[in-house]
């Protein structure tokens, strides 16, 4: 296999698994390193080495790799697959390849061990046709995340990939969808925990988080601040009135902000039947609505 093989791939965004026994395929300083081409190809890619790198010996690292993958036929538990290679720790070359490279990682491809950040993804749970809906991706602190990958998949081969802009938002159209479609929405960003949610096309039975006045899909002090700003300083109106109606009394007033703050900081309760922080339907008949 050579770098020409990578250049000739025609499977687009669909990835694959490549298993190489040669340490030279991972020698980044060389112009023909196949793994480097996989990483830099326009379609995107990834590589992983089990038991070998260019800091190894021919006949040592590749033997460990073969044992690992051969064990896959009998056992799918990675720990046991890895431990199977201990049988080859019989000389210095094998010991170096197994314990230095497998446990610590290739010096040129270190294992990332940082704590991933959290993606906050806001989107409707359903959308009507023909229309469009927005997806907003932010940090845990509320700042917009640019170039997050947002993917929508569904029946009949539906596959749409968008990237968020400077405001952390992207828009999907429902015009080419069908009523009843249950779509899977995923959002990913390097060094962040992936997100997965769903959007149903057709008649909407909208859900919301009780107390989520600013419609960011979580409960915190910013929701109380949002309500007070709307009531007393001319701030934006809630996107979902039902969600902002924290005490579920059919009206939006200062008691809703007080109810939320009591819940957050004094151990108070939310209305009966409420699952704090979880989306739910509003079963209370009132004049408030939630258009999502």
Give the domain CATH number at 173. 2.60.40.10
Neighbour count for residue 84 (Cβ, 10 Å):
17
Residue with tokens 């400077």: 166
The residue count of the chain comes to: 292
Residues 7 and 100 in one domain: yes
Q: What is the pLDDT of residue 126?
A: 81
DSSP per-residue letters across 71-124: HTTT---HHHHHHGGGGG-SSHHHHIIIIIIIHH--TTSPPP-SPPEEPEEE--
Q: Tell me, rounded to whole angstroms, the distance of Cα 17 from its chain centroid.
A: 21
Q: What is the pLDDT of residue 163?
A: 96
Residues 23 and 79 in one domain: yes
Q: From CA 224, how far away is CA 245, in angstroms rounded? A: 11
Q: What is the CATH number of the domain that holds 212?
A: 1.10.1330.10
pLDDT digits (tens, 9 = 90+) for 235-257: 988 888 888 999 988 889 999 99
Is residue 57 over pLDDT 90? Answer: no
Q: What's the number of domains the chain is made of?
A: 3
DSSP per-residue letters across 206-247: --B-TT-TT-SSS-SHHHHHHHHHHHHS--PPPSBHHHH-TT
Residue 112 maps to a domain = no
Q: What is the pLDDT of residue 253?
A: 94
Residue 250 maps to a domain = yes
Q: What is the pLDDT of residue 53?
A: 56
pLDDT digits (tens, 9 = 90+) for 149-159: 999 999 988 99
Domain end residue (candidates: 104, 134, 149)? 104
Q: From CA 155, how far away is CA 82, in angstroms rounded? A: 38
Residues 217 and 269 in one domain: yes
Band of the pLDDT at 264, cuts 50, 70, 90? very high
Is residue 262 a contact partner of residue 223, using CB atoms and an 8 Å limit?
no
Residues 30 and 83 in one domain: yes
This prediction has a pTM of 0.45
Structure tokens at 285: 């008949």
Phi and psi at 82, nearest 5°, equal -70, -45
Residue with tokens 């806001």: 122
Residue 110 maps to a domain = no
Residues 193 and 253 in one domain: no
Residues 121 and 164 in one domain: yes
Domain end residue (candidates: 69, 104, 139)? 104
Residue 280 maps to a domain = yes
Residue 111 maps to a domain = no
Residue 109 maps to a domain = no
Residues 122 and 83 in one domain: no
Can you give the C-alpha Rg of the chain in angstroms?
Answer: 26
Q: Looking at per-residue confidence, does 92 or 252 come out higher?
A: 252
Residue 123 maps to a domain = yes
Percent over 90 (pLDDT), the chain: 28
Residues 29 and 61 in one domain: yes
Residues 9 and 97 in one domain: yes
Residues 211 and 192 in one domain: no
Q: Quote the domain boundaries for residue 225.
A: 207-292
Q: Looking at per-residue confidence, does 29 or 91 come out higher?
A: 91
* Highest mean pLDDT (candidates 16-30, 98-112, 194-208): 194-208
Distances (CA, A) of 220 to 27, 181, 223, 257: 50, 33, 6, 11
Domain end residue (candidates: 81, 104, 127)? 104
Q: What is the pLDDT of residue 227?
A: 94
Residue 20 maps to a domain = yes
Residues 48 and 94 in one domain: yes
Phi and psi at 263, nearest 5°, equal -65, -45
Distances (CA, A) of 24 to 29, 33, 104, 132, 162: 10, 7, 19, 50, 36
Q: What is the pLDDT of residue 165?
A: 95
Structure tokens at 146: 């640019």
Band of the pLDDT at 292, cuts 50, 70, 90? very low
Band of the pLDDT at 147, cuts 50, 70, 90? very high
Q: From CA 223, how far away is CA 233, in angstroms rounded? A: 15
pLDDT digits (tens, 9 = 90+) for 194-226: 899 989 888 666 678 899 999 887 889 999 999
Residues 149 and 224 in one domain: no
Q: Looking at per-residue confidence, does 46 or 192 come out higher?
A: 192
Least confident of 56-65, 184-193, 266-275: 56-65
């Amino acid at each position: 296999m050579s770098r020409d093989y990578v250049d000739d791939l025609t499977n687009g965004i669909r990835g694959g698994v490549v298993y190489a026994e040669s340490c030279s395929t991972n020698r980044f300083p060389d112009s023909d390193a196949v793994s480097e081409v996989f990483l830099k190809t326009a379609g995107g890619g990834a590589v992983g080495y089990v038991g070998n790198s260019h800091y190894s010996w021919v006949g040592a690292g590749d033997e460990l790799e073969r044992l690992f993958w051969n064990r896959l036929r009998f056992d799918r538990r990675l720990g046991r697959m890895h431990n199977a290679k201990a049988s080859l720790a019989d000389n210095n070359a094998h010991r170096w390849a197994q314990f230095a490279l497998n446990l610590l990682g290739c010096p040129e491809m270190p294992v990332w061990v940082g704590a991933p950040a959290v993606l906050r993804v806001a989107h409707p749970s359903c959308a009507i046709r023909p229309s469009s809906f927005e997806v907003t991706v932010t940090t845990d602190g509320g700042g917009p995340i640019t170039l997050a990958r947002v993917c929508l998949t569904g029946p009949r081969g539906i596959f749409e990939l968008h990237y968020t802009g400077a405001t952390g938002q992207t828009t999907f159209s429902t015009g080419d969808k069908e009523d009843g479609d249950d779509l899977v929405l995923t959002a990913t960003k390097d060094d962040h925990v992936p997100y997965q949610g769903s959007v149903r096309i057709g008649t909407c039975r909208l859900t919301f988080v009780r107390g989520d006045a600013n419609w960011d899909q979580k409960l915190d002090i910013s929701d109380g601040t949002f309500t007070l700003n709307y009531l007393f300083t001319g701030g934006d109106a809630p996107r979902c009135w039902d969600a902002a109606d924290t005490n579920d009394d059919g009206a939006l007033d200062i008691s809703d902000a007080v109810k939320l703050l009591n819940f957050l900081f004094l151990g108070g309760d939310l209305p009966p039947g409420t699952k704090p922080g979880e989306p739910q339907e509003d079963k209370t008949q009132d004049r408030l609505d939630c258009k999502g």
